[in-house]
């Protein structure tokens, strides 16, 4: 297995479960994970939460939930699901700290990808 994918798996990502979605092509999967780490929806989510723009925050969070789930990024998924559901219900109350935790996990992902 690719050393970076091994690091991600050790961190708690579901690499083996997600790899078939990428036709078992480790390099392609790694490219996709790298693109996920750069997705502008992370910054959009935070910006919309700061401005209490619930619908736009939901759209960004829902996008992230899909790409995070499909790439098996379980450490990030744990945070994004706690953000999406309140937004789906129309509330952004108390979500900024969760978004900050998501951003911290994203930075960890970026750090692992740079190794």
CA distances from 68 to 50, 51, 92, 93, 110 (A): 22, 24, 20, 23, 14
Cα gap 104→102, rounded to integer Å: 5
**Model pLDDT for residues 41-96, shown as the tens digit of each residue:** 999 999 999 999 999 999 999 999 999 999 999 999 999 999 999 999 999 999 99
Cα gap 2→6, rounded to integer Å: 6
Prediction pTM value: 0.94
**Model pLDDT for residues 33-50, shown as the tens digit of each residue:** 999 999 999 999 999 999
Percent of the chain at pLDDT > 70 equals 100
């Amino acid at each position: 297995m690719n050393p970076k994918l091994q690091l991600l798996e050790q961190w708690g990502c579901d690499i083996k479960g997600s790899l078939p979605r990428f036709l078992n092509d480790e390099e392609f999967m790694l490219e996709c994970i790298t693109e996920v780490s750069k997705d502008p929806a992370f910054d959009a989510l935070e910006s919309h939460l700061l401005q209490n723009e619930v619908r736009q925050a939901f759209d960004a969070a829902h996008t992230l939930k899909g790409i995070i789930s499909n790439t098996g990024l379980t450490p990030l998924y744990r945070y994004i699901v706690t953000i999406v559901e309140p937004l789906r219900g129309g509330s952004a109350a108390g979500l900024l700290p969760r978004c900050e935790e998501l951003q911290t996990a994203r930075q960890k992902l970026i750090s692992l990808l740079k190794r």
